[in-house]
Each structure stands twice: as C-alpha cells, then as structure tokens.
Amino acid sequence: MDINYHEIAERAASHALKSNITLDYSEKSIAEVESILGTYYDHLAEYDGKDGADTLWNVAVHYGIYLGETMLRLGMKEKGFAWYIDDGMPVLKNQAKAQISPVTKAHKRILNGPEDNVKSFCDVAFLLADGKFPDKNVHRAINVHLPSGQVIENVLYRDIASYITMIETGREDFLILESQDGFFQFYGVNNQFVCEVRVNLPDGDFHTYSVIDKAKEQQTRRVQLTTPYGQFTPAEREVVSLEVVNMVVRAYYEHVKTDDFLGAIPYIDTTEITKRCMGL
C-alpha cells in the first residue's frame, strides 16, 4: 500500500487552520492536536451511527498521521523509526521492532477522553526512541478519596463527573483526586467551591496552590463560605464556580507535568503560607 503520509498530515494541518490553529510539526503543535481531539470527545453525541463513527475514524487517521510525521521530524527518524503497515494500520516501527501507533492513539483520545492524552503518548514515544523506559510520571492515574475513607482507584475521566456531582449536591463534604505526585481537592456547595493543589517534589519538598477566579484576581478580601465540610474564610478570588472546578479537573487529567498543568489553570502559589501554618 503506497501512502503519502506527508500529504495526509498536511490535510490535517489545513483542517486545523480553518479553526485558526497552526500545526507546524513542532513539539508545541502536539498539544494543539490534543486540544483538537478533545473537542471531538466533547461532542461525541453528535457523531452517532455509522456515518459518525466513520467521520471520527477519518479524523483520527489524519491527526494520528500528523502526530507520526511530527515525531519523525522531532528526532524519531534519526532513531530508525519509519512508517510501516501492520495488519492494515499505519504504525511507526524501527529495526528493533519497537512499534508505535499514533492513529490508534488519536482514535482512543476521541472516544475515551483525557486519559488517552496524545501529548503523554508522544512523550512516551520519545523516551522509547531514546532507549529509555518511561517512569511512573508519564501517566496520571487518579484515585478518588471520599470523606468516608473510601478510596476508588484508577478513576477514568469519563467517570469522574458522578463524584463531582456528590460535592455539587452536598451528598459528600469534599473530594480528593490523588495522583502519584500529589493531589487536587475541592469542597463547597451552591456553585461556590474552594480548590487546592499539592505537588510533591522528588526531593521530598512540596508546593501548594489555590485555584482562583481569574476575573476576581485582585479581590483578596476574606469572605464567609459555609459548606457541608465546615465554615471557611477564603479570599474572594479563591471561591470559584463549578465550571472552573470542571476545567481544573480536566486539566489535571490531561497534563502530567506540573508546569503544563499550572499553565492551563488560574492559580496562586500558597506554598509559603501553607508551610508557615504547618510550622515548617
């Protein structure tokens, strides 16, 4: 089968440009593809039936091949990787028989959501190309902690909404999303929530952050917030809506690296205050 991979990748880039998104085969463009595929996931209900499934597969093929072409340009070609057809599927392989399937991953991203993040997938691919085994920080596995002490392990993004609803409706006091490098927790009721993040560093230190309402960034006056979890006096900017909570939860699933996660959310650094309160 003679496939012009560059031409298919260029069609993906042209399609993205219609939404004012530039795909230039850079590492940054991988995050753009992640965002594009995420939009399809958000609108899955609009692609029902065989025609819808065919459309999504076509999208996955184009953007998956774009990802493959990008990885080749970013060093994987020099590592011996090239396109092959394996059982009818375009894949990247090298002489050591290491195999990567960006088309399959793009399709999973569309169908499954952020837990099949293509940026993390590409990070893994680059490590494999360098002969390195991915460490535990490549993927973000989420365990949900409830006030009762119950821990639900490996909760997928598509299943997290039911737990968020427990807090929204007051059925649970708080929710903790624990990952391998820290946790994200929030509490509140009636569309008023406080969200906090802790990041554990490799050297044993830690940083903490509070999510803020960007529109109220300068509003530092303390306000009274009564929740099923108790009474609190956060700064006004630290009281956020459910929409912000959902955005941060999604970003927590999507971005494994702390800098990427923080770059996607509005926050303030509370490390110094937290450590002072802990007597550290």
72: domain CATH number is 1.20.120
Q: Do 62 and 185 sit in the same domain of this protein?
A: no
Domain membership of residue 186 (yes or no) is yes
Q: Do 165 and 214 sit in the same domain of this protein?
A: yes
Q: What is the pLDDT of residue 132?
A: 61
Q: What residues make up the domain containing 237?
A: 143-277
Strand order in the sheet with 206-211: 151-152, 143-145, 174-179, 182-189, 192-200, 206-211, 267-269
Identify the band that residue 190 occupies on the pLDDT scale cut at 50, 70 and 90: confident
**Which of residues 169 and 224 earns the better pLDDT score?**
224
Q: What share of the chain is helix, strand, coil (3-state, %, to 5)?
A: 45, 20, 35
Tens of pLDDT, residue by residue over 123-168, are: 878 877 776 655 545 557 889 998 888 899 988 888 888 889 888 8
Q: Do 91 and 158 sit in the same domain of this protein?
A: no
Q: Do 61 and 164 sit in the same domain of this protein?
A: no
Q: Do 159 and 259 sit in the same domain of this protein?
A: yes
Answer for the pair 114, 252: CB distance below 8 angstroms, yes or no: no
Q: Do 187 and 121 sit in the same domain of this protein?
A: no
Q: What is the pLDDT of residue 51?
A: 94
Q: What is the pLDDT of residue 82?
A: 94
Q: What is the pLDDT of residue 219?
A: 93
What is the token pair recorded at 98?
């290491």
CB atoms under 10 Å from CB of 235, counted, come to 16
Q: Do 202 and 264 sit in the same domain of this protein?
A: yes
Helices (H) and strands (E) in the chain, counts: 9, 12
pLDDT surpassing 80 at residue 229? no
Domain membership of residue 22 (yes or no) is yes
- Which of 73, 103, 129 terminates a domain? The answer is 129
How far apart CA 63 and CA 55 sit, in angstroms, is 12
Within the chain, where are the H helices?
Answer: 5-17, 27-42, 49-71, 102-112, 118-129, 161-168, 242-254, 258-263, 271-277
Q: What is the pLDDT of residue 1?
A: 57
Q: What is the mean pLDDT of residues 238-254?
A: 91
What is the token pair recorded at 110?
């569309």
Q: Do 147 and 269 sit in the same domain of this protein?
A: yes
Highest mean pLDDT, choosing among 23-27, 157-161, 188-192: 23-27
Domain membership of residue 137 (yes or no) is no
Identify the band that residue 182 occupies on the pLDDT scale cut at 50, 70 and 90: very high
In the chain, how many domains are there? Answer: 2
pLDDT surpassing 90 at residue 272? yes
Q: What is the pLDDT of residue 129?
A: 78
Q: Do 154 and 118 sit in the same domain of this protein?
A: no
Answer for the pair 250, 114: CB distance below 8 angstroms, yes or no: yes
pLDDT surpassing 90 at residue 171? no
pLDDT surpassing 60 at residue 52? yes
Domain membership of residue 134 (yes or no) is no
Domain membership of residue 136 (yes or no) is no
Domain membership of residue 138 (yes or no) is no
